[in-house]
Amino acid sequence: MVSKRFRSQRLVWVGIVVLLLAMVLSACDLGPAPTPTPTVPPPSPTVPPPATATTAPTPTNTPKPQPTPTATATPVPTATPTQPPAPTATQVVFKYEAPELKEPKNGGGYAGQLLWEPLDLADDEYYHIFVYSIHNKAPWDKGYDTKLGEKEGKYLLPRDEFGDKDNDWKTFSDSGEFTWEIQVMRKLASGESVPLSPRSETWTFTWIRSSD
């Protein structure tokens, strides 16, 4: 009975010794126990702030710089001698001056010939007489030519056209008044005529009965 107890105690002591040895060996071989590292939680994802709406800047019209005008000297015109105008193609140079009227006097009565100051005409030149009036309340006119190369300045109007006893002294004028003027002309080989002078002054006369 004693031996069994003794064995049991011895086994307990042996176990204690073995346990202590084991603890001593483990303390010598493993060194200091590692310090537990605190676990750092992973960083939370960063959420970007919501984008704010931005208003685009309104463009402004910046005036362009204007060039500064520079003062320029105005040329002063120099006086030039006045020259007479050169004759143009439309100016007509006549051979003769305007004929001078003589009879009947301007505004006088007529009972004979028309008279003017004669010119020394060439053989192909003549006078043309223009006569105007108002007949039957309308303008009336007629022309008369002298002979070619006529040396005298006169012309007798036809009495049968201007009034005589055969037509009861009726004329081609409602009032009996006529106007007249003359011009020097040249007869061309073609039969046409060209003026060689300006027209004369325009005179008036009143047709009257002649003595016969």
What confidence score (pLDDT) does residue 157 get? 87
Range of the domain at 135: 101-207
The string of DSSP codes covering 45-110 is: PPPPPPPPP-PPPPP--PPPPPPPPPP-PPPPPPP----PPPPPTT----SSPPPPEEESPTTEEE
Q: Which of 103, 94, 95 is nearest to 153 (CA)?
A: 103
What confidence score (pLDDT) does residue 52 get? 53
Averaged in consecutive runs of 10 residues, what is the pLDDT profile of the chain (212 residues)? 62 75 63 52 54 53 58 56 59 90 90 89 97 92 94 88 64 87 96 96 84 52
What confidence score (pLDDT) does residue 146 get? 96
What confidence score (pLDDT) does residue 67 get? 57
Neighbouring C-beta atoms of residue 205, cutoff 10 Å: 22
What confidence score (pLDDT) does residue 20 get? 77
What confidence score (pLDDT) does residue 193 get? 95
Q: Are 155 and 114 in contact (CB under 8 A)?
A: yes
Inside any domain, residue 195: yes
Question: What CATH number has the domain bearing residue 114?
Answer: 2.60.40
Nearest-5° angle of CA 121, CA 127, CA 128?
Answer: 160
Please tell me what DSSP assigns to residue 175: S
Inside any domain, residue 91: no
Domain count, the chain: 1
Inside any domain, residue 132: yes
What confidence score (pLDDT) does residue 77 get? 55
Inside any domain, residue 140: yes
